Amino acid sequence: MFEVVAVHIASSINIRQCKSQLPLKILFSDSDELYLKNGEKKFVYIFQYGLVSFFNHSEDEKAKILDALSAITKEKNSPQFTETIKVEIIEGHQKVAFDKVILPSFDAEFIRLVMLNTSQSVALDQYSEITQQLLEETNEHTQYLERKGKLNISGMKLRKFIGKVLNIKNQISENLYIFDEPDSTWENEQLNRLNMELKQTFDLKIRYRNIHEQLGIVKENLELFKDIWDHRESSRLEWVIIILILVEVLDLFVFRLWR
């Protein structure tokens, strides 16, 4: 019985630096991913959005690699999001259960799919928590608006909040490819079936949609806040113009009386 462990270790990881920092055999590499072989029946999968997945590694072996990666990420925080799934190799059998995956052979591509989907699940946990925090913060402003009839956020903070939400949406779209099928599954029916079963077991598509729906709610509220703020600023500007006109009229009136 083997084990896949995926951990979130940083906001981002430089894949190019990983290649020089980890002198391991490269099985696959691009700008976003690095799939490595670490000796006999051991694999490491690194993602640029801050995820590392291990296959068949001891705690000491994982710690050694994480220490090497910490020199790249410059982040010393302990991993907050992790996920583990068992992997069993039974010739001719393929099955995905809640806590275990049975693979028909010890194949690097089969193992890579398990590691990929496990890592995507951890990434969704991370983004789900971030989105929940944004939703709670937004609810605080809507509740204040309901009680007081006005907003308790400045224009600058509102613009920063909007920028934060948009950046998170962009990160999710760039980093998570839940609806995209890996190239390896296109010509291999077994790999394709394994990928679909893993996505279903981890509820990746449902969780992905939930995050997008929550971000949509936040974005909709922020657009309303922006409209209210713009209206308030417009009203303030109108009053400034009215006061200036009154001052000018009074000045003209006093000038004529003086004459």
Domain ranges of the chain: 2-106, 119-232
pLDDT in tens, 98-157: 889 999 999 999 999 999 999 999 999 999 999 999 999 999 988 988 888 878 877 788
**Tokens found for residue 158:** 């509102």
**Tokens found for residue 215:** 């971000």
Distance CA 230, CA 77 (A): 40
pTM of the full predicted structure? Answer: 0.83
How far is Cα of residue 259 from the mean position of the Cα atoms in its chain? 72
Q: Find out whether 143 and 200 touch, Cβ atoms under 8 Å.
A: no
Q: Assign 238 a pLDDT band (cuts: 50, 70, 90).
A: low
pLDDT in tens, 159-203: 888 888 888 888 888 777 766 777 778 888 899 999 999 999 999
Helices 108-148/189-201 angle, 10° precision: 30
**Tokens found for residue 183:** 């190239």
Q: Give the class (CATH, top level) of 2-106.
A: alpha beta
**Tokens found for residue 246:** 């009154």
Distance CA 86, CA 189 (A): 22
What's the average model confidence in pLDDT over 49-55?
Answer: 94
The reported pLDDT for the residue numbered 239 is 62
Q: Find out whether 15 and 33 touch, Cβ atoms under 8 Å.
A: yes
Fold for the domain defined by 119-232: Methane Monooxygenase Hydroxylase; Chain G, domain 1 (1.20.58)
